[in-house]
Amino acid sequence: MIPALAVPVWRTLPWRTLGAAGAAGLLTAGLSRLPGTEPDSRLALGLLRGAALAGALGLAFLLDDPARDGTTTVPTGRAARTALRVALVAPVAALWWAAALLLVPGAHRPPAGAVTLEAGTACALALAAATVAVRHSDDPRPGRPAATAVLVTALLAPLLLPSRWALFTGPEDPRWAAAHDRWAWLLAGAVTVGVASLGEPLGHPFRRTADQPT
């Protein structure tokens, strides 16, 4: 059934939104090649983070499905449908991220593995936000609140995070390695929250037992 679903689900993905986000991300990464910009590894890192955030914002819309009202009650569960969407978009996102990395001049490119971890975490957080939004509302388009939450968090986190939990460090910073441990934890947390929100609640078993039909 999953292979049969792949093609129609591929067509239902919000490609226009994802495309806009991807283009904005590539544009952001490409800013470092603009004339007038002083090439600088700090800036390159900032731009790559911006590109990752743009991509993540696009992914926050991944679960938008105008036909949701009608497709909620089909036997193919939400977990399978969501997983399929993520699986379909993952290779595209990977290619896109590789392109973004390559757009940054090699001399100033930050360690690829570490920034990829950051980008992956950002995307996972966005998807987790979208899954949570789907779980907690009937809105067929939960992407906007999810994207807003991701955006606000991303802009405020560097300003508000205390230095001991710093995430947005530079490679020359002694906290770089520790920060990436935190990124990895964050990734694990996002995946956990995302997966935990995939299920469709059956109701409230405790209250239900009190009112069993006779």
**How far is Cα 91 from Cα 6, in angstroms, rounded to an integer?**
14
Build a one-symbol-per-residue string for 120-139: x at contacts with another protein by CB under 8 A, - elsewhere: ------------------x-
Question: Taking CB under 8 A as the rule, does residue 89 contact another protein?
Answer: no
Question: Taking CB under 8 A as the rule, does residue 157 contact another protein?
Answer: no
State which of positions 19-78 bind another protein (CB under 8 A): 20-21, 24, 27-28, 31-32, 34-38, 43, 46-47, 50, 53-54, 57-58, 61, 65-77
**How far is Cα 210 from Cα 208, in angstroms, rounded to an integer?**
5
- Distance from the first to the final alpha carbon of the chain: 39
Residue carrying the six token digits 């004339």? 35
Residues in the chain: 214
- Please report how close the Cβ of residue 66 comes to another protein at its closest, in angstroms: 4
Build a one-symbol-per-residue string for 183-202: x at contacts with another protein by CB under 8 A, - elsewhere: -----------------xxx
Question: Taking CB under 8 A as the rule, does residue 11 contact another protein?
Answer: yes
Nearer to another protein by C-beta: 115 or 150? 150
- With contact defined as beta carbons under 8 Å apart, do 129 and 146 qualify? yes
- Please report how close the Cβ of residue 34 comes to another protein at its closest, in angstroms: 5
Question: Taking CB under 8 A as the rule, does residue 207 contact another protein?
Answer: yes
Nearer to another protein by C-beta: 23 or 188? 23
- With contact defined as beta carbons under 8 Å apart, do 183 and 167 qualify? yes
Residue carrying the six token digits 């997966």? 195
Question: Taking CB under 8 A as the rule, does residue 81 contact another protein?
Answer: yes
Nearer to another protein by C-beta: 8 or 162? 8
Q: Which residues of 147-176 are buried (b: 16+ CB within 10 A; e: fewer)?
A: bebbeeebeeeeeeeeeeebbbbeeeeebe
Nearer to another protein by C-beta: 53 or 179? 53
- With contact defined as beta carbons under 8 Å apart, do 54 and 24 qualify? yes
Question: Taking CB under 8 A as the rule, does residue 144 contact another protein?
Answer: yes
